[in-house]
Structures are given as structure tokens and as C-alpha cells.
Amino acid sequence: MAEEKGKKMKRSEANTVGSTNASKTASPAARPAGAAAKASEGSLNLQNLEVFYDKFRAVNNVSLNIEPKKVTALIGPSGCGKSTLLRALNRMHETIPNATVKGTITLDGIDVYGPLVDPVRVRRVIGMVFQKPNPFPTMSIFGNVASGLRLAGASSKGEIAGIVEESLKKAALWNEVKDKLNEPGTSLSGGQQQRLCIARAIAVRPEVILMDEPCSALDPIATLKIEELIRELRTEYTIVIVTHNMQQASRVSDSTAFFSMGEDRGGYLVESGLTPQIFTAPTQQLTEDYVAGRFG
Amino acid sequence: MSLLRFTAADLVKAPSGRDARRRRADRFMRGIMFVTAAIAVVPLIGLILYIITNGLPFLTSQLIVNSPLDIEPGISNAIIGSLQLTIASIILAAPVGIAGGVYLNEFASPRVSSAGELLIDVMLGTPSIIAGLFAFLVVVPALGFSGYAAIVALSVLMIPIVMRTTQEVIRLVPAGVREASLALGIPVWKTTIFVTCRTAASGLLTGVVLAVSRGLGETAPLLLTAKGTNDTEILNFGSTMNAMPIVIYRYSSSPDSLLIGQAWATALVLLVIALTLNVLVRFRTVNNRVA
Amino acid sequence: MAITKENRFGFGRGIRVDALFRILFGSAVVVAGILLAGVVLSMVVSSLPVWNIQTPLSFVFGDRWAGEVTQPDGSVVGNYGAFAVIWGTVVSALIAILIAAPVGILAAVYLVEFAPRRLAAPLTFLVELMAAIPSVVIGLWAAGDLSIRLRDSVEWWVASTLGRIFPWLAEDPEAPAAQSVFRAGMVLAIMIIPMVVAISREVIRSVPQSLREGFIGMGATRWETIRHVVLPAARVGLTGAVLLALGRAVGETIAVTMVIGNAEGIPSSLFLPGQTIASKIASNYAEASTPTETGALAALGICLFAVTFLLSLAIRLLVRRAARGGGQAS
């Protein structure tokens, strides 16, 4: 239902350029994976983005450029639509009935909401890590990481095992779990579970990883580990992270976008820029007040 | 590495091979699931249409007012019998069920409480024919086929329904309500009756209505106990009694087309009562496990 | 009244009333317990005359229900064989559950995961109404309408294809039986589907949304999410739903009695009439006049009660395991 509606959304004229660019750059023949990785970098561009739940406009006219291979933090008071915006990026909001999107989101120039685009594929390119660690309770640690690969059609056991190990290493979890890969994912501690979810997300080798307050359910030490991990992962992935925690945003992100809630309770973008600039020399009074902890 | 890495450029290509298959499987299973949901509902529509078309022509005032012995026979004694048996049974079952449910929730130790749970589960799972057989084996030898035997059988079926519903609605009463009352120095028994049970009153009623609905529709336990009769005596629980389900069952295998028609008409009456009671309950607390 | 130390602190009368009150309410549970014990005991005690003249083993495995037989030496031997009715009960319940489990669970998945809200609410309502219809009304409809439709469609089709290979699916094309075990199973299926749907719905709804999102977020389709995440996470609860429905199918009496045909013995084909434990009790009680005849019915009751009791015990164990292992909705 919602997925059909999503496709029917109006697109603003200005951004049809993106799609035509893409068809030029996309070479039809299958290329080796390495070449493909170079050709596309994972830069996201949002133009006049609006997200609706039924008639309620949760996100109001956001235009934003998300740099490739950088960490972008979305901050703002609760209810300002930053999680909703994040979910619109990989079309996750479509799992909620009656959620619709207006405006454009392009990934490396390709319209994510284009008529030919299958949302299922979008989520393989743009992975997601959620607020609460959600390892699949009926799968082992290994199975959790391998599940996305198996969905994508990987059948060679050696290949899967290789990618699982590589992903767990990247997620800084390998040393802790290598001897108990067959135990259920839910047997791990909260922080480990969240790193397992990150490993699970990178196993399908996405270009972008969305993180929706990934540390809000974790203790400070586990949080620190995840933050270290995020800084390491940005060399390979574009990371968009929603956070409530100002210090976290300033620690891990390269750019920051500050959102607030308008009078119609819909969220809008106040300003965005390099993180040091947002935190030390914001152009808007509202940003300064929020960053200084005066509200929110 | 053979595993395809997806990039943005791949998004605009038409899905092929494996992805196309996955998409087809998704659509196909959606279709299957829609069909199963339809299968779950279609019989209800077929049944209602069948009972209405066949029963309506026979649903006359004669059917409801006259007794089976009148020249133009009806089923008045079955209607009255059903009401008498159900009311008498619920008068027994409701206090026992409510008191038991309240006790298990409010006063019982965890051990007694879990034993009580098992008791209710087993009683709820007891087939109605077993309840009938119990009364047939215990009450019938002493009092003969009678309303009393039927009341015993129906009570065995009704008590666990009331008890389980009571437990579930009492559980929903916030602890604060009780504590507020106890803190005022109101004794436990007054708190329980005038605060806890009052708060949950509509839920308790739900359990009673569910039990009544069950009692009105049961056939097998009544066959083994009240047996069915053409007599029209009222409030004579010592002898055989008639009830609507018995009429439906007995008349349906009769060679007389009038009696078969009356079976349909009686089924229509019973259907309307059962559905009405059920709809009434739906607008209050819903309890799937018991219903 | 003077405030004495005693009644000011709620001792005395109040506490005695409270104690009395607890005893009164507790006795309700005792009454229920006594009733249940009475149900079991009454059947055990009444069945004793049967065990005087035959063994429980010969009762369960005997294939003929022939009553008492006087031997040439003058001794009386019981020849009550329940095997045929146990067979009928198991087979009709199996047919029912094989249909109702997949249909009911998938329908519940549809209602929770796919149905638009405008459709889900009325569909759920209708399914729950179906559960409220008295079984005698279903029996009347099944005997008069559904049974004939099934005979002329599904049954005819299976008999004229698979029936040529397997004799236990055969049917006389000239004179198909008026009633059959298979149709009893189908009617039972229709009766228990609402139960499977209702419980499965609750169970599926209790699977945390975050698990679905996790899988969808990795690029899974909705169906893949259901198959690999939702159904595995819900499996314990779903098994409970199926077992509960199976218990209902095993014990259902009147609707089955109206469509199964109540014929003695094990039929050679599923499309021939048979009998279940419950339908046997319902059709034989009126003729039971001697203690052994009544006792034989009580013995049938024990068989039926044992089956349903074991089922409800199995459900409890499952649920307890789920609660401990956190396999569901943790």
C-alpha cells in the first residue's frame, strides 16, 4: 500500500537532472565490484523533502547535501522529525501505513524514489542500525550477520564465512565472539548486540549506513566503543547518525544538521554545516541556544 | 568476489534473476495470504445466508408462541427451557467464577495461583461432551434425566470462562487504585468488592455474557442430561427439559419437512442471539482466548 | 464507640471479616477444583465394571464394539473395542488441523502484516463472530449444505484422481456416501480456523516491530521478513494456538455427529462414514442401561479427557519454555 503511494509522489522539476546524469554514468555491463565502488561514493542529496503521516507533515521542506565517506549528525529536540527523515532516506518509512514523501532524495545522482526503483534494493545500498539493538532472536551470531548475504543470494559457504568474519572484524566484535558464533545473537550484551547489528548492516556492503540513535539504549562504555567504531567506519561508508547527545554529535561527526519543530509541529532544517562551525559559530540564534543546552 | 555489490547505479536497472524471483515470491505469498483470510471468512457468510434463507419462512409467531403439542406446533418450551437452564446455571457459575478469579489474583500465593491457572486451563479445555457425561454419570442416576443434571453440566463449562475473564480484567485494575483505598483504612474485603470489582465491573460482565452465550449454544451436554421433551412445565428442573439446541439437533434428522424447517428457524433464532451477545461483548473488553 | 488501641489499628472485627472473606472467595476455587476432580473421578469410578470383564489394553486396541459376551463356560467377557472411534477422532482432527493450521496462521499474518486497516478490522470481526456460532448451528448448515458441496467438489475431485491410486481415498462414483470422515474433518477445520486466527494474531502482533525493521532494513521483502524473522520468533505461540485448536477439534461433538455418519468400524476410505469418541458417546448414551454399558461410555470419556488433558499440559510446557527461554517477544 504505502510503497505504491511512495512511488506516486510528486517530484520537483529542479531535480530531474539527477536521474539523467545517472543514466550517463551507469555503464550497462556488469563491472568488477572494485570499479563500481570507485564509481559511486555514497553521496546523498535531499531536495525540498517532505514526509507525511496521513495529512500530518512530519518533515517540512528539507534540502541538504550529505557528503560521501563522512559522518553527518542530525540533531535537534525530540519530535523534530529527524528519525522520520532518516527513515525516508532508505524508504523504511514505507513500512508504516499512510506514510508518504514529497521532494527528491538522490544517491550518487540516482533518484531513490524513481519509478524503476525497488525499495528492497534501496535498503541494500543504504543500510540501517536501529535505536534498540535488534538481533534476530532465532538466529545465531553467525546467522545474524549472514542473513542479509543469504537474502542477496550468496550460497557459497566459504564466501559467506569470509564476509561474516570480515564484517565482524570491521565492527570490532570478532575477538569477542569468534569462539561462540553459533550462540544466539540475543546472548550478547547490549553493546555487543549493537555492534552485531552494525556488522549485520555492513555485511551486505552498503554505501550508506543510517544510524537511528544507536547508543541511546547503551551504557557509557558501550557507547564509547560504538563511537570509536563509527569514526573508523567513515573511511569506507557514508554515515548518517541521528542523536540526542550533543557531545556525541561533536565527537563523531564531520558535518551537523540542526532541526527544530515549527509551529505546525512539523520538523524543519534550521542550519547545517561543518560540525565545529555549528557548535562554535552557528549562524542562527536557535542553534546556539540548543547547542548551549538552553532548550530541548 | 562473486557476490554482487550493489551501488546506486544498480537501483534503476530492472530487477533481474534472483531479485525478480524474490519480488514474485513476495507478491505470490501476499495473494495466498489474502486467499486464506478469505477462506476464514467465506464460510461465515455462507452459513448465515443458508440459515436465513431456509429459516426465515418458518420463523413465525406460531413457532415462538406454541408448544410442540399444539395443533400448530412451535418450540415455546425450548425457548423457555433454554432461558431457564442458562439463567439457573449462570446464577451458580457467576459467583463461583468471579470469586475464584478474584481470589487467584488478589489473595492466592504464587503457588496456589499457578495451580489455579492449570485448573482453569484444564477446565476450559474440557470437551463439552465430557461435562455432559459427568452429569450423566453422577446426577442422572440419582435424579433421572433432568434440568438439575443439565445445570451441573453447564456450570462445569461456565465456571472456568467466568473465572478466566475475571482474572484477566482484575489484573488490569491498577495497583494504585487498591492501595489508595487501603491507605484510607478501608478493610481488604470492602476494597476488593467496592473498589477493585467495581472498577472492573464491565469486564466481569463480559465474562458472564461469554458464559451465557456458551451455555445457550451447547447441545451435547444437554442431550445427555435434560434430554429434550415436549412438556411445557415451567420451573420444573426435576424432570426432562427442552432447549433450542436440542430442538435443532433432533428436528434436523426428522423426516417431517415442517420439523426440519423449524430446526432452521430455531437455528436462526439461536444464531441471532449468539451473534448479538458476541457483538455486545466486542464493544467491551475483548477476550479471544476464552471465546 | 471508644477508640481502643485494638480497633484503631484495624485489629479485631475488621481483620476477622477479612479472613472470612478470603476463605469464602478461596472456597470458590476449591469448588471448581472439586468439580474437575468429580469429572475425572466419576468417569474412573463408573468405568470400573468394564475393567472387571476386560483389560484397558483390549479396550483401547479392540476393533469391535460388541458389548458383553457370555462365554460357553458361563463367564461374561467384555468386548468393547474403542480403536475404531479413537481412529475416527484422530483422523478427523488431523484433517482439520492440517487445513486449519496453515490457513489460520497465514490469515492471521495477512491481518497483522498486510491488510489495510479498513479491511483488517471488519475481517477480524467476522472471524471472531464465526467462533461465536453454536456448534449445532454449524452442524445443521454443514449437514444440509456444506457437506453436499464438499462431496460434489473436493471429495469428488480427490476420489477421481488420487482415489484411483490410494484405496483409502476412493469413493463409489455411483453412490457417494451421504456422510464421511473427511467431511467431518473439513467441518472441524472451519470451526477451529477462527480460534487459530485469533490466537495467532495476538502472537504475531507481539513480535517486536524492531525485528521486522531490522530485516527489512537489510533489504528483505515483506514475505522474507515473515518467513525468516516473524514466524520463527512466534513459533512457540503458534504451536500453542495449533494445539489449543487441536484440543477443540478432538472434543467437538455435535457438529461432527451430524456429518460423520456414525458408522461402526474403521472405514476403508476417508470418504466413508465413521465415528469419533465424542459422537459415539452422544449417540450411545440413550441405550446405556447396564453398569457395564454406562461404564464403557465412561471409559470412552477417559480416553477423550486424557487426550485433551495431555494437549493442555503440552501447551503449558511450551508457554513456560517460551517464557524462560525468551524465545518469543523478548
B8 neighbourhood in chain A, CB within 8 Å: 22, 40, 42, 107-110, 125, 207
The label of the residue with cell 530541548 reads: A296
C137 vs B contacts (CB less than 8 Å): 47, 51, 217, 248, 267, 270-271, 274
The full length of chain C comes to: 330
Residues of chain B positioned with their CB less than 8 A from the CB of A117? 11-12
Same-domain check for residues B50 and B67: no
Judging contacts by C-beta atoms under 8 Å, the chain B residues touching residue A107 are 8, 11
Q: Residue A34 burial by CB count (10 A; 0-12/13-18/19+): exposed, middle or buried?
A: exposed
C184, C151 Cβ separation under 8 angstroms:
no
**Is B26 close to C223, i.e. CB distance below 8 A?**
yes
Pairwise CB contact (< 8 Å): C28 & B39: no
Task: Evaluate whether residue B4 is within a structural domain.
Answer: no
Cα gap A241→A83, rounded to integer Å? 9
- Put simply, the answer to whether A95 touches C212 (Cβ < 8 Å) is yes
Would you call B193 helix, strand, or coil by DSSP? Answer: helix
Query: In this complex, which of C29, C103, C111 lies closest to B39 when CB atoms are compared?
Result: C103
In terms of DSSP bridges, do strands A99-107 and A110-111 run parallel, antiparallel, or are they unpaired? antiparallel
Q: Which of A151, A193, A219, A174 shows the shortest CA–CA distance to C210?
A: A193
From CA C229, how far away is CA C213, in angstroms rounded?
A: 10
Residue B90 inside a domain? The answer is yes
B207 found inside a domain: yes
- B168, B204 in Cβ contact below 8 A? no
Residue A168 pLDDT class (50, 70, 90 cuts):
very high
- B167 and B25 both lie in a single domain: no
Give me the total of CB pairs closer than 8 Å, taking one residue from chain B and one from chain C: 278
Task: Identify all chain C residues contacting A151, using CB atoms and an 8 Å cutoff.
Answer: 218-220, 224
- Asked if C116 lies within 8 A of A148 by C-beta distance, the reply is no
| Residue B244 grid coordinates | 433450542
Contacts of C208 in chain A (CB under 8 A): 134
pLDDT of residue B287: 45
pLDDT band with cut points at 50, 70 and 90 for residue A296: low
Does A143 touch chain C if contact means CB atoms closer than 8 Å?
no
CATH class of segment(s) C83-325: mainly alpha
Cβ within 8 Å, pair A112-B13: no
Query: Which candidate from C117, C217, C235 shows the least CB-CB separation from A127?
Result: C217
A interface test, pick of B1, B4, B5 with most A CB neighbours within 10 Å: B5
ipTM rounded to 2 decimals: 0.90
Q: In which residue are the cell numbers 480497633 written?
A: C7
Which is it for the CA torsion A76, A80, A84, A89, positive or negative?
negative
**A131 contacts on C by Cβ (under 8 Å):** 210
Residues B228 and B89 in one domain: yes
Q: Torsions phi, psi of A209, nearest 5?
A: -120, 125
Residue A17 above 60 pLDDT?
no
Of C210, C218, C326, the CB nearest to A132: C210
Q: Which of A121, A131, A136 sits opposite C215 (nearest CB)?
A: A136
* Residue type for position B263: A
| Antiparallel, parallel or unpaired: β C65-70 and A255-261 | unpaired
Would the pLDDT of A116 be above 90? no
CATH of the domain at B117: 1.10.3720.10
The pLDDT-based confidence of A292 (bands split at 50, 70, 90) is confident
pLDDT score recorded for residue C323? 64
- Cβ within 8 Å, pair B7-A36: yes
Please name the amino acid found at residue A259: F
Beta bridge partners of C76: C70
Compute the nearest-CA separation of C329 from chain A (Å).
Answer: 9
Residue partners of C121: CB distance under 8 A and separation at least 6: none
Q: Nearest CB to A151: which of C208, C214, C219? A: C219
Beta strands in B143-232 (DSSP E): none
In a domain, B289, yes or no: no
Residue at which a domain ends, from B37, B57, B77 = B57
Distance from CA of A255 to the nearest CA of C (A): 24
List the subunits that have 3+ CB pairs under 8 angstroms with A: B, C
Closest residue in B to C106 (Cα) is B33
Count CB neighbours of B234 within 10 A. 11
Pair B70, B155 in one domain: yes
CA distances to B189, C133, C169, C180 from C166, in Å = 67, 36, 6, 17
Q: What is the distance between the alpha carbons of residues C79 and C86, in angstroms, rounded to a whole number?
A: 16
Report DSSP state, residue C152. I
Under DSSP, is residue C208 helix (H, G, I), strand (E, B) or coil? coil
Positions in chain C short of pLDDT 70:
1-14, 322-330
Chain C neighbours (≥3 Cβ pairs under 8 A) are: A, B
In 10 A of CB C273, how many CB atoms?
A: 20
Q: Residue B6: inside a domain, yes or no?
A: no
Report chain B residues whose CB lies below 8 A from the CB of C25.
99-100, 102-103, 107
Whole domain around residue B42: which residue ranges? 16-57
Mean pLDDT for each consecutive 10-residue tract of chain B (291 residues)? 62 76 92 95 94 95 90 92 96 96 93 93 93 96 95 97 95 90 88 91 92 94 93 88 95 92 95 91 55 36
Q: Which residues of C are less than 8 Å from A97 in CB distance?
A: 116-117
A186 Cβ under 8 Å from any chain C Cβ: yes
Are B11 and A159 in contact (CB < 8 Å)? no
Residue C173: its pLDDT value, please? Answer: 73
Are C269 and C91 within 8 A, CB to CB?
no
Q: Are C113 and C230 in contact (CB under 8 A)?
A: yes
Query: A97 vs C117: CB contact, 8 Å cut-off?
Result: yes
Could you say which of C39, C104, C127 has the minimum Cβ distance to residue B130? C39
A246-264 pLDDT, tens per residue? 889 999 999 999 999 988 8
CB contact under 8 A, B6 and A33: no
For position A293, what pLDDT does the model report? 82
The helix (run of H) or strand (run of E) holding residue B281 is: helix B257-282
The verdict on a CB contact (< 8 Å) between C219 and A123 is: yes
Question: B7 touching A, CB under 8 A?
Answer: yes
Looking at the fold, whether B48 and B64 belong to one and the same domain comes out as no
Where are chain C's structural domains?
Answer: 1-53, 83-325
Nearest to C288 by CA among C117, C46, C106: C46
Cell of C285: 448414551
My answer on whether B41 and B96 are in the same domain is no
SS3 (DSSP) at A73: strand
Q: In 3-state terms, what secondary structure has residue A295?
A: coil
Subunit contact B11:A36, Cβ cutoff 8 A: no
How far is residue C90 CA from its own chain's centroid? 10
Q: Specify whether B196 is located in the same domain as B99.
A: yes
- Residue-wise pLDDT for C77-131, tens only, equals 888 999 999 999 999 999 999 999 999 999 999 999 999 888 999 999 999 899 9
Residue C1: the pLDDT is: 46
A2-19+40-291: CATH number? 3.40.50.300
